[in-house]
Amino acid sequence: MKRIFFTYCNIFIISILLAQNTQTEKMNIDVIEHYTSLNKNILSGEIHIKVNDMMRKNHSAQYQILFCQVTSIKHLEPIVQYNILSIKDSIQYIFNQHTWFVINHKKKTYSVENKESWCKISCLFPYLWPEILLDNMSSYYLQEKLFVTKHEILSADETPAVFSLIRQICFPAHQNITRITQTYIWDKETSLLSKSRMQIMEYKRKDISKVISDKETTLLKASFNKEEYSNFNLYDGAHYIQTWYKQTN
């Protein structure tokens, strides 16, 4: 009789623990979805970011990014126009749905591509370049997409000041395994993604690994959804090209 009693007690305790774990998991997923979707109402804006290369001592770059979504009949999803200025090397990358400009203010040169030119790929796939568009923070604010599946989540922690999320993605590359670890930190006071980090490691075997890339991005300044960011002139490179600049294409 005692054995049956203890068996039922154990089943009852296990059921409670499983229910608690399920509830905790659901709560964590709900919290994660809340923070990863905070950018869904950001349609235009200006962000200033700093990118530190953790593999190179004292190596950092700063960018000023202006952006605005525009709708197109030919596209189901909005197209993002952007104007990116790399502060250190004074190179400006400007894209709207018709034209793609790269302006080097130091060298006083520029290149232009449009849908009618021979190099249409620059306009069809603008997110392939420059590299800063692939940064975690840039893609979060400009592309408004941060899909996180359960099996990718390593940890999700909430404190009175911040919410942090760490995800990991693994995939085979040639004979090796590439592991990408992405860290996101939201400032709870401002509800902004304030810091992100991407680490890429390559594993030849389980016990041998090599860091390929490790970059941390910090949000320095942000402003969103103001009418001024919809001004078409911001995304027309011709307004930034001086008469003495030389075209290289």
pLDDT in tens, 112-146: 887 665 455 555 565 556 888 889 999 999 887 78
Indicate whether 37 pLDDT > 80: yes
Among residues 227, 40, 226, the alpha carbon closest in space to that of 142 is found at: 40
Average pLDDT over residues 12-39: 61
Question: Which residue type does 168 have?
Answer: Q
Q: What is the mean pLDDT of the chain?
A: 81
Among residues 178, 231, 209, 197, the alpha carbon closest in space to that of 53 is found at: 197
CA atoms of 6 and 181, how far apart (whole Å): 44
CA 43 to chain centre: 15
155's tokens: 């940890």
CB-CB neighbours of 66 under 10 Å: 20
Q: For 15-148, where are the E strands, in sequence order?
A: 44-53, 60-70, 79-86, 91-95, 99-104, 109-114
What are the residues whose beta carbons fall under 8 Å from the beta carbon of 82, sequence distance 6 or more? 65, 66, 67, 68, 93, 94, 95, 133, 142, 235
> Mind listing the pLDDT tens digit for each residue in 188-223?
999 999 999 999 888 776 667 788 889 999 999 999
- Upper half-sphere CA count for residue 98 (Cβ side, 13 Å): 5
CB distance 36 to 164 below 8 Å: no
pLDDT for res 24:
41
Collapsed DSSP state (helix, strand, coil) of residue 29: helix
| Element holding 7 (H helix, E strand) | helix 2-36
Q: What is the pTM of this model?
A: 0.81
Q: Which residue has the higher pLDDT, 115 or 179?
A: 179
pLDDT for res 27:
47
CA atoms of 97 and 73, how far apart (whole Å): 12
CA atoms of 7 and 23, how far apart (whole Å): 24
Indicate whether 84 pLDDT > 50: yes
> Mind listing the pLDDT tens digit for each residue in 233-245?
999 999 999 999 9
CB distance 120 to 97 below 8 Å: no
